[in-house]
Structure 1
Amino acid sequence: MPDFLKEYFLGIADSLQTTLKTPDAYLNKVALTAVVLVIGIALYMLLKKMLARSVKNFTKKIQLHKAAKQTMGTLTIVSVLFIWVQAINVLVLIALLFGMIAVFMVRGLTSNIIGYFVIKYRKYFEIGHRVEINEIIGDVIEINSTSFKLLEVRNGLSSDAHTGRIIKLPNSIIFNESIEMVGVANRFVWHEVKYVVSFDSNWQAAEQIMTEAGASYFEEIVLPELQQTNRRLLNGQSELRPVFSIDTNDAGIVLVLRYLVDYQQGVSAKTTLQRTILPQFIEHPNIEFAIVEVKVFQG
């Protein structure tokens, strides 16, 4: 702390100590403080009743209650300071307080503005890109000088659908948190459809149905999109084709088809594949979905 501030606060401490050593002055200030507190509380209660009678909108009423409470609290604190500390010292304390608040505000504002230039000119992400920050997933819909907004995705939903909620985050968050970005260099991500069939099912037939559906989806939807948006990926075309895998669990045989999809079309792509695969599974005489048995124990 600078020397002038130390001297200033030491002077205030000496003044308060002198007051405490003078019984009459001490008692007078205690009495005045009590009166100020009572008046402050009474005025706040009066304002609260007036707002309850005159304001009908619930949200506006809550906001005005909060503003009244903060205003009366500030005025009461300033009045108490005037009682216990010299007027000039009170003004200096208030100025220091506002100065500290301004420093913190400017510091936060500066970080957000720097974050804005990093996002825009380093092409960190752009409107339409999907980002994940602190388990928050969303598509960027706005970037301004202090913050950016995400249209939330997933958050409890079983697919990559928008929840309808908009999340606002400060630009400075890019300096403090790790960010996963989709759509910056490549719009395509891997998704999967999964089925569990019984152990006595013809899983080879199920595999054929799923792989054929995946191949048709790749040829009709993914390849044309790659040719338009990212021809560079076509060099490794064999690695982009759908991948089938098989596993088992207690319920049955787990069949999984992993496929490439534009991150903004995850729901429609899965629906397309389900509509192709499910009817064939149902019509096949030797493919049955596994049934999970639920045992109820009676005490």
Structure 2
Amino acid sequence: MMQELGQYIEEHWQIGPELQLKILYTFIAFLLLLLIRLIALTLIFKSFKDIKHRYLWKNGVKNAYYIILLFVLLNIWIDRIDSLGTFLGLVSAGLAIALQVPIVNLAGWIFIMVRKPFEVGDRIEIGEDAGDVIDIRFFQFTINEIGNWVDSDQSTGRIIHIPNGKVFSVSQANYNQGFSHVWNETKVNITFESDWKLAKVILTEIVNKHAEELSFSAKRKLLEASKKYMIFYSNLTPFIYTSVKDRGVELTIRYLSLPKKRRVIEHVIWEEILERFSKEETISLAYPTQRVYFEGDNPLLKRSKSQK
């Protein structure tokens, strides 16, 4: 069969036996490597049930397939150049100009794989974009966008593809790496006439109920992160800060939360605040108000007239 294929190619395409062998070897290499890739993917899907682990192994097999295929093809077709380094030197100048952006993106991929500023599943912010990393490829990585027109870092439903080379030009914030929790603050405004001390006691009970477990968990995570990063917090327990604003007393609840559960915890805390405050006659939430005086009813004008 191989001889018949070679004769057919030689008769119709008029190419020599050396080129025929190269084409044949290339065809065989494609088939063998593709078969190995399919077998590896089958084993991965059978061995790993966790979606993230399955994705990482599948992505690793895909990258290894392309790299091995590239080296095999170079070995088959490049035989008239004594050194692969010489060949690379001849084409590097042209590639640097013609493929400048792809090369930078490929270097960015290597940086991401080796340095690991983020991984699949991490929530990051890079430049003006923020989201959960769902894919990392040779030339770009993909995030599931959060924020933008949606409040509290929840998903917008959009997928954003970002060039890998962007990791060299803009800063990146990782919500998960190092310290797995983030600080969140909820501001509660009450009137000056309210019993702010009682309100603070109620808020302390509420935040301890919903965030205390996270604080203990954060201590363990922080201890692990301190081995790699210079991260130190003296206090991880929830705290309530008191300040005075123009419309009343502002009580700021500061507590730790997992990045992806920030809105859920704030939702639960606010619902309990509204329920508890509604039962207290001495506590009223503050909100912007406006007083309207009809002609002659303004007490300041009446006072000025009486003084005259």
1:147-196 per-residue CA deviation (whole Å, 9 max, x = no partner) reads 01111111133312111111111000011111122211121010011111
SS in 1 for 2:212: helix
CA separation of 1:199/1:173 partners in 2, compared to 1, >3 Å: closer, same or farther? same
Question: Conserved in 1, the CA contact under 8 Å of 2:178 and 2:225?
Answer: no
**Residue identity matched to 1:206:** A
Post-superposition offset of 1:230: 5.4
Aligned partner of 2:114 among 121, 140, 156: 121
SS in 1 for 2:201: helix
CA separation of 1:165/1:232 partners in 2, compared to 1, >3 Å: closer, same or farther? same
**Residue identity matched to 2:276:** Q
What does residue 196 of structure 2 align with?
203
**Residue identity matched to 1:266:** R
What does residue 110 of structure 1 align with?
103
What does residue 278 of structure 2 align with?
282
SS in 1 for 2:243: strand
What does residue 261 of structure 2 align with?
265
Residue 135 (1) aligns with residue 128 (2): yes
Describe how 1:183-222 pairs up with structure 2 within 5 A: 183-222=176-215
SS in 2 for 1:151: strand
Question: Conserved in 2, the CA contact under 8 Å of 1:246 and 1:255?
Answer: yes
**Residue identity matched to 1:171:** N
Describe how 1:24-103 pairs up with structure 2 within 5 A: none
Post-superposition offset of 1:221: 4.1
What does residue 145 of structure 1 align with?
138
TM-score (norm 2): 0.58
1:46-88 per-residue CA deviation (whole Å, 9 max, x = no partner) reads xxxxxxxxxxxxxxxxxxxxxxxxxxxxxxxxxxxxxxxxxxx
Q: Which structure 2 segments of 5+ residues have no match?
A: 1-92, 294-308
Post-superposition offset of 1:104: 4.8
CA separation of 1:105/1:226 partners in 2, compared to 1, >3 Å: closer, same or farther? farther
**2: CA distance, partners of 1:281 / 1:223:** 28
Post-superposition offset of 1:286: 0.6
CA separation of 1:255/1:124 partners in 2, compared to 1, >3 Å: closer, same or farther? same
Describe how 1:288-299 pairs up with structure 2 within 5 A: 288-294=284-290
What does residue 158 of structure 1 align with?
151
What does residue 42 of structure 2 align with?
none
Question: Conserved in 2, the CA contact under 8 Å of 1:191 and 1:258?
Answer: yes
SS in 1 for 2:156: strand
**Residue identity matched to 2:173:** E
Question: Conserved in 2, the CA contact under 8 Å of 1:197 and 1:290?
Answer: yes
TM-score (norm 1): 0.60
Describe how 1:239-258 pairs up with structure 2 within 5 A: 239-258=235-254
Using the aligned pairs only, state the percent identity.
30
Post-superposition offset of 1:103: 5.5
CA separation of 1:144/1:252 partners in 2, compared to 1, >3 Å: closer, same or farther? same
Question: Conserved in 1, the CA contact under 8 Å of 2:184 and 2:257?
Answer: yes
**Residue identity matched to 1:278:** L
1:211-233 per-residue CA deviation (whole Å, 9 max, x = no partner) reads 11122223334424755x55547
What does residue 165 of structure 2 align with?
172
Per mean C-alpha deviation after superposition, the further-off stretch among 129-138 and 248-257 is 129-138
**2: CA distance, partners of 1:233 / 1:284:** 43
Post-superposition offset of 1:277: 2.0
After superposition, the CA RMSD in angstroms is 2.8
**Residue identity matched to 1:287:** I
SS in 2 for 1:246: strand
**1: CA distance, partners of 2:159 / 2:219:** 30
SS in 1 for 2:152: coil
CA separation of 1:206/1:101 partners in 2, compared to 1, >3 Å: closer, same or farther? farther
Question: Conserved in 2, the CA contact under 8 Å of 1:226 and 1:233?
Answer: no
Question: Conserved in 1, the CA contact under 8 Å of 2:107 and 2:165?
Answer: yes
